[in-house]
Structure 1
Amino acid sequence: MSTSPMPSLSTLDDVARLVADRHDIYVRWSRGPDPDLRSASSADDLTGVRLPGLSASALGIEDWWEERPARLWVARRLYDYCHLPRLKDPLTRPWLLRGREVARGPDNEPLVSDVEPLAWVDDDVITEAVDLVEQQPGRWGSLDRHGTHRQR
């Protein structure tokens, strides 16, 4: 569980290449691996209950996605929580990790253990993801429960 400085991924294609054919890569939105690995678990915001792992979002591409672009899959997954720095904590950043899913959290999110930090996700990647998702023909919004959108 090394917390040495991590590289940063600067494009959506960089993230898509990393997750290609992998199902053990997750994105976590937090202050980073150092504080997360000290606690080794998340807490339910509503009740305060400690969870048996870190909450994260799976980035592995599902088989039903078939031959659709990996970068669109990744963009959609990153877009889901891009509101967190604005809503919860301005120091929240996305970072990628390898881990083992041990349970599901109260929002049905994967809870992971045996976490290995891999890379930071640059702000430019999030901008690219938001732009790509917003270009799609269907209506879609982030998982922001307050209904606000990302300020750009």
Structure 2
Amino acid sequence: MYVLENLDQLATLLREVGRDRELYVRWSLGPDADLPAGRQGRQASRDALTGVMLPGLSANPLRVEPWWGDRSLRLWVARRLYDYCHIRDLRGPGASPWIMVGEQCGRGPDNEPLVICHQPVAWVSEEALREADTVVKEQGSAEWGPLHRAD
């Protein structure tokens, strides 16, 4: 997989590929850890609270919602990355965001999409994550932050 070096590259990917196919971002050790060998078998996640196996990979859509209008695509992707940046700390060394083409197959217990990955696309670089952090913090909202329960 190639690496998206900045938010502009992610926005371009979303603009060019995301109009025809569903793109998702997943925070994990990557496709090699998440996808069964040879793409055969079951793609699954595990619910952290109960340990229940979920029928798909927990991921978040990158698709821009119609209500977003002509607002900044860069801000949209920054927010999508920032929402779950705490997962890196929870999952340990090597956990990073990666982009996939996928298909939603259900919802998890936190109402998150469960996705079947059809094609891993790209890793998201540390620089892009730093940019996302900066872009989100520049919005100046004291009421908003990552979707992290433990805080």
| Partner SS for 1:8 | strand
What is the rounded CA distance, in whole Å, between the counterparts of 1:19 and 1:31 in structure 2?
A: 22
- 2:69 is aligned with 1:74: no
Structure 1 unpaired stretches of 5+: 1-5, 148-152
Specify the alignment match of 1:8 in structure 2.
3
Task: After superposing the two structures, state which structure 1 stretch, 77-86 or 14-23, moved more.
Answer: 14-23
**Cα distance, 1:83 vs structure 2:** 1.3
Percent identity of the aligned residues? 51
Specify the alignment match of 1:3 in structure 2.
none
Structure 2 unpaired stretches of 5+: 37-41
**Cα distance, 1:129 vs structure 2:** 0.2
> TM-score under structure 1 normalisation?
0.89
Specify the alignment match of 1:104 in structure 2.
107
Which letter maps to 2:32?
D
> TM-score under structure 2 normalisation?
0.89
Which letter maps to 2:78?
A
- RMSD of the TM alignment (CA)? 1.3
User: Quick one: which of 26, 34, 37 aligns to 2:35?
Assistant: 37
Which letter maps to 1:8?
V
Aligned length: 142
Q: How does 1:1-152 map to 2 (within 5 A)?
A: 6-20=1-15, 21-22=18-19, 24-38=22-36, 40-139=43-142, 140-147=144-151
What is the rounded CA distance, in whole Å, between the counterparts of 1:86 and 1:104 in structure 2?
A: 23
Task: After superposing the two structures, state which structure 1 stretch, 42-51 or 14-23, moved more.
Answer: 14-23
**Runs of 4+ residues deviating >6 angstroms:** none
Which letter maps to 2:146?
S
| Partner SS for 2:103 | strand
**Cα distance, 1:145 vs structure 2:** 1.3
Task: Please tell me whether the aligned partners of residues 101 and 118 of structure 2 are also in contact (alpha carbons under 8 angstroms).
Answer: yes
